[in-house]
Each structure stands twice: as structure tokens, then as C-alpha cells.
Amino acid sequence: MDAKTALSKRENYQELLDTVKENFIDMRRRIKDKTFDLDNQDDNGKTVLINVIEMRNFTEQMWVLLEYNADPNLGDNEGKTPLHYACSVERKDMIICLLLFGADPEIPDNEGKKPFEDFRDDMTLTMERIEGIKREFISLTRKRRKFLKYIFDYIDELGSKLLNIEGLAGYYQKINKESMDDSRKDATIFIQEAKMIKNQYEDVPTITYEEFVVAFCYIVKYHGMKIVDDFIERFKKIRPKVSNKGEEEGGDEKKEES
């Protein structure tokens, strides 16, 4: 690689990293509109995805990078993949996100260590569960997943990045026109089925966006995509402005995802 090309790659990398760190609201649009190489690496071999994981923020930046095809298995100079880093910071939401996008838990680092070797919890059931809905996750498409994120954030009024039974029940009552008791029962079942991340300090059961998406993948698997599409359509009726925005952002999907 000549000096000019190396400089261009470093500048591209730094501009993307700055966009992720400083301008998250505009991040999706800028990644769509500008030619970023999402797999550029710094001098230590770290991708922007790895840097995002090390920041230990919420997972929105990870989702945008992965939705636009950042490599979930590209390791650094020590062979550590994004999954190694997510395990090192003990973030199960990040781990689930990476697994959904195809992160391989069998890739060792340069010392021969696989990501889950030193992890405090057994992730076998989580990996098996996600492996079982890979096809459904792809079939949801980027556009549907974006609408599910809009719905999640709409229910999560306080911005906690977690949904609880009461919040989900209130949403069910609004879109289904049913009693609060029935809505609460439905919300309880959904959250119990979706729950993958156990938190011993949690008084009220909650789920992350990653768990929310996994639950919908299982709905697709056992009940078909129409239920998910109907769920999204009911949201569009109560939030038309957000719906129009989602339609515009979904316009760049690959044909096979439509």
C-alpha cells in the first residue's frame, strides 16, 4: 500500500469514528450517503465496531454499523474479534447483537482463546437460541428491524433502553383496544418468552432491544411474517410521521430483502 492510499484509509477511518462518537443522530444518514469503508482498521487492527464496543455505550451504533455490513468477525492485530471484546466488557446485549449478525464464537485469538472461554456465564443456550432463528432474522429485513426499533423507543418513553411489562402493556392496550388486564397478561408472556439476559439486581423483568428482536424472530418462525407486519402497521397508524421517515430510510435495502 502506498503512502497516499494509507493516508486516505486513515482519514476515512477517523472520519467514520468521529461520526460514530460525536454525531450519532446523523450517523445512519452519513453512512448511507458517504462511501465509508466500515472495515478499515487502525494501527492496532481495531475496526470502528471494536472501538464502539470498547466505549461501552448502548448498542445503537453497533446496529447501524452491522446493518450496513460491517464485518462482525474482523479481528485486531492480536486476533481478538468484536465478540472477544463484547465478552471482555461483559455486555450480553452486545453479544446477542453480534451473534444475530453472524459473529462466530469459534474464532480464536492469536493465543488460541475463543471469545466465551473466560466469560462468567454459560452462553450455550443463548447461542443455540440465536442459531435457531438466523433465517428469520434475515427475513425481517433492515426495514422491518428499523420499525421495530421505532416501536421499542416509542414504548421506552424514558430512554432506559429497556422495556418492562407495564410499558409494553400500555402499548398493547393502545393498539389492540383491549383491557389493561388482558394487555398486561400479553405483555407478561412476551417478556417472559423474550428474556435472555438475567440480572440478579433486577426487581422488575425487563428486556433489551436485542431480546425484543429475537422474540419477533420466533414469532416469524412459528406464526409467520404477517403478524409482525400487522404489528408494524398498527404502529404506523399512531405515529405516521415516524412511519414516513422509516419508509424513506428503508429505501436502500437490497432487493432480496424487500
CATH code at 134-257: 1.10.238.10
Question: Per residue in 166-190, pLDDT tens?
Answer: 999 999 999 998 999 999 999 999 9
pLDDT given for residue 76 in this prediction = 98
* Phi, psi of 173, deg, nearest 5: -60, -40
Annotation: CATH topology of 3-131: 1.25.40
pLDDT bin (cut points 50, 70, 90) of residue 148 is: very high
Question: Per residue in 33-80, pLDDT tens?
Answer: 777 889 999 999 999 999 999 999 899 999 999 999 999 999 999 999
pLDDT bin (cut points 50, 70, 90) of residue 96 is: very high
Q: Where in the chain is the domain with CATH 1.10.238.10?
A: 134-257
d(CA 13, CA 7): 10
Find the mean pLDDT for residues 100-126.
93
pLDDT bin (cut points 50, 70, 90) of residue 249 is: low
For residue 4, is pLDDT > 60?
no
Q: Where in the chain is the domain with CATH 1.25.40.20?
A: 3-131
Find the mean pLDDT for residues 13-36.
81
Show the cell assigned to 192.
417472559
